[in-house]
Amino acid sequence: MSAHVNQQRLWDSLMRLAEIGKTAKGGVGRIALTDLDRQGRDLFCTWARDAGCEIRTDRIGNIFARRPGRNPDAAPVVTGSHLDSQPLGGKFDGAFGVMAGLEVIRALNDAGIETEAPIEVVDWTDEEGARFAAGCIGSAVFAGMRPLDEALALIDADGISVETALDEIGYAGAAAVGDIDFKAYFEAHIEQGPILEAEGLPIGAVLGAQGQRCFMVTLVGEDGHAGTLPMAKRHDAFMAAAEMSLTLEALASTYEPAAVITVGHVRVVPNSRNTVPGRCVFSIDSRHPDEDTLERMEAEMTGTMQAIADRRGVALEVAPVTRAAPVAFNPVCIDAVRQACQARQVRFIDMHSGAGHDACKIAKVAPTGMIFVPCERGISHNEAENARPEDLATGAQVLLDVMLATANN
């Protein structure tokens, strides 16, 4: 007997979950380790127990809901994502992955199918990083990429630590972090970009995630009077930054189709309407799925900015902030997603993720794959984030097929 997801049940679960932390414009503000996060966690645990799962919570607050298999000693096949959101986030980012995993279990129960290996659904602690300024906390600790003590000691803007917040919401678990091996990990997620919708495709088989190199750039020129200083005599730090930004935008297009470069933060000093600014600080976020290309991009960006700075008579400092290597997902897991799509005649494309995910951390310690579904206009981290019920159900069905095949292999 085959198992089929229930589109309406999946949608209803997402909409019920979205009531917790609902914002004025229909989004979600369910910040990690707040009381709203606790309510979301409680609801997930209730639903998982109702579906016959055993609940295990580890010391960093990751929640695992296990559906037993015929072989209790077999490594589980795991899926999941996160229930926390941005302050003004959407209903589907993260939540879809957890609810899709729950729907996999419910559909297997409906069909009376017992798997050889156990199946687990996980809610990873604080993927978004909106509160403690350190995203993917739970998955990073699980993967051994961040020490547990260091993660527990992270504090928010009010000086409250992760450890204290976990205690306050009742999710400081007893289980050791990373104490179990995964046979495989699959994460279903909205794309958070426009590619699938533009191509009219329901599924993306994710090859991996782009590498990221971020910098803070400081330009120092000379303040001057806006009325008396001739244009040719100026050492305008902001105009240098503006030229650099446009040059970086053009540079990204030479590395298409995958390169993206963003100037997202600019600070002008003295920030006065009648003063030529003598200092400007701005950020650069550069991403590409190939490490060698990232290296070439960095060298070209630095050289180009230096040439502009020299011509405009300003001093340039480029300080690295983040260096995250590209992540390649497991070829067997990627192929399992492709095969599941082909078996159901679901159209798909291979693609990279432009954003980071818990799956990127888990890929360090377990065979990992991701399944993308379209989201409306590619909008995410926004109250207007939206997805079609049929696309979500298709993604959940591919996830079910992949997990079932892996658990019985």
Give pLDDT tens digits for 274-333: 999 999 999 999 999 999 999 999 999 999 999 999 999 999 999 998 888 999 999 999
How high is the pLDDT of residue 254?
95
Angstrom distance (rounded) from CA 325 to CA 294: 9
How high is the pLDDT of residue 190?
98
CB 398 within 8 A of CB 334: no
Determine which helix (DSSP H) or strand (DSSP E) holds 253, and give its type and residue range: helix 237-253
Residue found under tokens 């000093």: 269
How high is the pLDDT of residue 283?
96
Task: Look at the domain 211-324 and name its fold.
Answer: Alpha-Beta Plaits (3.30.70)
How high is the pLDDT of residue 1?
63
Which tokens go with 152? 């527990």
How high is the pLDDT of residue 256?
77
User: Is the peptide bond preceding residue 257 cis, with omega within 30 degrees of 0?
Assistant: yes
Angstrom distance (rounded) from CA 81 to CA 59: 18
Angstrom distance (rounded) from CA 319 to CA 115: 51
Indicate the CATH number for domain 7-209+326-407: 3.40.630.10
Tell me whether the CATH fold assigned to 7-209+326-407 matches the one assigned to 211-324: no
CB 124 within 8 A of CB 62: yes
Nearest partner of 396 among 194, 95, 123, judged by Cα: 95
List of the chain residues with pLDDT < 50: none
Angstrom distance (rounded) from CA 340 to CA 262: 36
Domain locations in the chain?
A: 7-209+326-407, 211-324
